[in-house]
Amino acid sequence: MGRIKTDQHSSRKDIIVEKAANLFKEKGYKAASMRDLAEVVGVEAASLYNHIKSKSELLHVICLAVANRFTNKIDEVEAEDLPAIQKIGKLLRFHIREMLNNYEDVIVSDREWKHLSDPYLSNFRHQRRTYRKRFAGIIEEGIRRKEIKKIDAPTAVLIMLHAVSGIESFHRSRQKISAKELEENMVTILLNGLAK
């Protein structure tokens, strides 16, 4: 009877959530079964329920954690007194680093949040919408101050948020370029464009 190994920083539940994020990322939420998860954790499926309430709780924990990290970051950035373009740079770099370091959670949250059920679904949607509006607000401020081109701010937000999620493909073929280079390339292209 092999127990789930814990350490100082993570409970058994933490470990299950971590493995779940990995599995959900790999196979998708619906396609990943509790029996799959149990096998990865090293335990029978029923045993998982000593630590979690349901499969959907796993998704909800992952999505909430990601949403909170981004909300906290934009709180921090908005409070600073900086040119808009630098605020955007900071947010962009945060997104990129999250995608480099915690990408499993971020990808699951991005791709599987539709499978949340209320009230978590409504909450998530609201948090997401609010975040994008605040991001767009920073861009619009930059346009007013003539630091940024006259473009449609929501479109710019869309581009940046989705561009970053492309880092997933980079993860799979981590060969030529380093994380630092990737970050600089992305920020350059998005802020200054491709053309010379």
Q: Summarize as ranges the residues that interact with DNA (CB under 7 A).
A: 1-4, 12, 32-36, 43-47, 49-51, 54-56
Query: Which amino acid, one-letter code, is at 62?
Result: I
Q: How far is CA 130 from CA 13, 70, 182, 183, 185, in A?
A: 30, 11, 28, 25, 28
| Smallest separation, CB 13 to a copy of itself (Å) | 25
Task: Give which of a copy of itself, DNA, none residue 45 binds (C-beta under 5 to 8 Å, depending on kind).
Answer: DNA
> Quick check: helix, strand or coil at residue 44?
coil
- Among 105, 86, 95, 85, residue whose Cα is nearest residue 148: 85
DSSP secondary-structure letter at 150?
S
Q: Is 186 in the site for a copy of itself (CB under 8 A)?
A: yes
| Smallest separation, CB 66 to a copy of itself (Å) | 17
32 vs 156, beta carbon nearer DNA: 32
Task: Give which of a copy of itself, DNA, none residue 9 binds (C-beta under 5 to 8 Å, depending on kind).
Answer: none
Q: Is 97 in the site for a copy of itself (CB under 8 A)?
A: no
Q: Is 193 in the site for a copy of itself (CB under 8 A)?
A: yes
Q: What is the spatial distance between Cα 192 and Cα 85, in angstroms, rounded to a whole number?
A: 11
- Considering only residues 53 to 82 of the shown chain, the ones binding a copy of itself according to CB under 8 A are none
12 vs 87, beta carbon nearer a copy of itself: 87
Give long-range contacts, CB 8 A cutoff, 24+ apart: 144-151.
145/83, 145/84, 147/83, 147/84, 147/85, 148/84, 148/85
Q: What is the spatial distance between Cα 158 and Cα 74, in angstroms, rounded to a whole number?
A: 16
Q: How far is CA 110 from CA 43, 103, 130, 137, in A?
A: 28, 10, 15, 22
Per-position x/- string for 100-139, each x denoting binding to a copy of itself as judged by CB under 8 A, each - no binding: -----------x--xx-----------------------x
Binding site for a copy of itself (CB under 8 A): 27-28, 30-31, 85, 88, 111, 114-115, 139, 146-149, 151-152, 154-156, 158-167, 169-170, 176-177, 181-182, 185-186, 188-196
